[in-house]
Structure 1
Amino acid sequence: MKNKNLKSEKDYIKKYQEQGYTTSYRPDRDILIDLKTKAEYAPEDIHVVAEHRFEGMSNPSDMSMLYVIETKDGSKGTVLANYSPASDTSIGAFFNAIPKENMSQVANIFEIEE
């Protein structure tokens, strides 16, 4: 059975954590920082292995993106980015700077059988 019953960002994050994507990151200008180890990653150090878009239930312009990433040193985790009209655009700029060849859907939980 595929993962069709997931509804919220929290559900998705929990499912990815079960798959080993447990690291938390924070964007800071043009780098991504591992909150635990303080390792820093440039856009070319990141591989986005899945991404999911969520729209607000009451306001579709309130959007978020869940990025599932692996880094050059093997760290695996997620980044949840808010894309509402009032949100900070620096995280979007960071993810737009990741080379296209580093983007895939190989770890998308909808493609992984339970």
Structure 2
Amino acid sequence: MERFHYQSAAEALNDLKARGYTLDFNLAGDCLKCPQMQLQLHPQDFSIEEVYRFEGMSNQDDSSVVYGIASKSGEKGVLVDAYGVYADSMSPEMAAKLKESYR
């Protein structure tokens, strides 16, 4: 997994987009959805190529994670997640997929 160092989530997103991660993914329980392409990716359909964590300067509750995602069919995009915000609405398979990228 390639690693870059960014000062902010916005900086990471801009660079990832410049490097071809052009789609925006959203968590949808048991899959990632991309409204731009009407695409759904289940955990077995994508890999996490890059992950960057950011903590809020004044409030740790403002923490977020930026993922660089690649589908098995070649689409690339980003997912932004706040630490734990979606944990209750995520399938165990999706939670495990996202968690494995922290190793």
TM-score (norm 2): 0.79
Counterpart CA distance in 2 for 1:57 and 1:94 is 31
With over 3 angstroms needed to count, the CA separation of the structure-2 counterparts of 1:94 and 1:59, relative to structure 1, is: farther
Q: Look up the match of 2:95.
A: 96
Q: Contact 1:81 / 1:92 at 8 angstroms: preserved in 2?
A: no
What are the Cα deviations for residues 36-59 of structure 1, in whole angstroms up to 9, with x where unaligned?
Answer: 111111011110001011001001
What are the Cα deviations for residues 49-93 of structure 1, in whole angstroms up to 9, with x where unaligned?
Answer: 010110010012431111111011111011000116xx2323595
Q: Which has the larger radius of gyration?
A: 1
What are the Cα deviations for residues 18-47 of structure 1, in whole angstroms up to 9, with x where unaligned?
Answer: 100010111111011112111111011110
What's the C-alpha RMSD, in Å, of the aligned pairs?
2.9
Q: Look up the match of 2:78.
A: 78
Q: How many residues align?
A: 100
With over 3 angstroms needed to count, the CA separation of the structure-2 counterparts of 1:54 and 1:29, relative to structure 1, is: same
- Where do 5+ consecutive residues of structure 2 fail to align? none
- Where do 5+ consecutive residues of structure 1 fail to align? 105-114
Q: Contact 1:22 / 1:76 at 8 angstroms: preserved in 2?
A: yes
TM-score (norm 1): 0.72
- 3-state DSSP of counterpart to 2:17: helix
> Which structure features the higher share of helix residues?
2
